């Protein structure tokens, strides 16, 4: 359909009627992973109600309208920031110190090694 160069895509005489994640990212000036997050959060709806991991397409006309909507851009940008903050926060919570690394356990380990 088009190469991976955003300038080539954006300089097409006529945009394709539907685009994938990459095209949506070019039109809205978001990262591809942010487009995936916007779909997950309900800010973008793919065409045809694809299930699960099916390839998703978006209407170019709808994306161009959203790109002109300052309120939607503001809300979408905040939602993506919040999405990644929460996701990164969950990752940090999952990294609890290992039991043998805690200071109280070092003393107990040293005592056990003395026997």
The Cα-based distances of 112 to 17, 86, 109 in angstroms read 70, 41, 5
User: From 3.10.20, 1.10.1660, 3.40.50, 1.10.287, which CATH number describes the 6-114 domain?
Assistant: 1.10.1660
What pLDDT, in 10s, does the model give residues 14-55?
888 899 999 999 999 999 999 999 999 999 999 998 888 889
User: 112: buried, middle or exposed (CB in 10 Å: 19+, 13-18, 0-12)?
Assistant: exposed
Specify the pLDDT at position 11.
75
Q: Reply yes or no on whether the pLDDT at 2 is more than 80.
A: no
Q: Where are the domains positioned within the chain? A: 6-114
What is the phi-psi region of residue 11: left when phi exceeds 0, alpha when psi lies from -120 to 50, beta otherwise? alpha
Specify the pLDDT at position 98.
56
CB atoms within 10 A of CB 13: 4
Number of H-type helices and E-type strands within the chain: 6, 2
Q: How far apart are the first and last CA of the chain?
A: 71
What pLDDT, in 10s, does the model give residues 65-115?
999 999 999 999 999 999 999 888 877 666 555 555 555 545 544 544 554
Dihedrals φ, ψ of 32, to 5°? -60, -40
Look at residues 78, 58, 68 and name the one whose alpha carbon lies nearest to residue 16. Answer: 58
Whether residue 28 contacts residue 63, with contact meaning beta carbons closer than 8 Å, is answered with: yes
Specify the pLDDT at position 112.
45
């Amino acid at each position: 359909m088009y190469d991976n160069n955003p300038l080539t895509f954006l300089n097409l005489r006529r945009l394709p009627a539907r685009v994938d994640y990459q095209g949506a990212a070019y039109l809205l000036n978001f990262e591809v992973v942010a487009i995936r997050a916007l779909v997950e959060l309900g800010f973008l709806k793919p065409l045809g109600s694809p299930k699960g991991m099916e390839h998703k397409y978006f209407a170019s006309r709808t994306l161009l309208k959203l790109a002109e909507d300052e309120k939607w851009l503001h809300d979408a940008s905040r939602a993506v920031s919040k999405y990644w903050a929460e996701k990164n926060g969950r990752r940090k919570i999952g990294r609890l110190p290992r039991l043998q690394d805690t200071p109280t356990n070092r003393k107990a380990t040293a005592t056990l090694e003395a026997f």
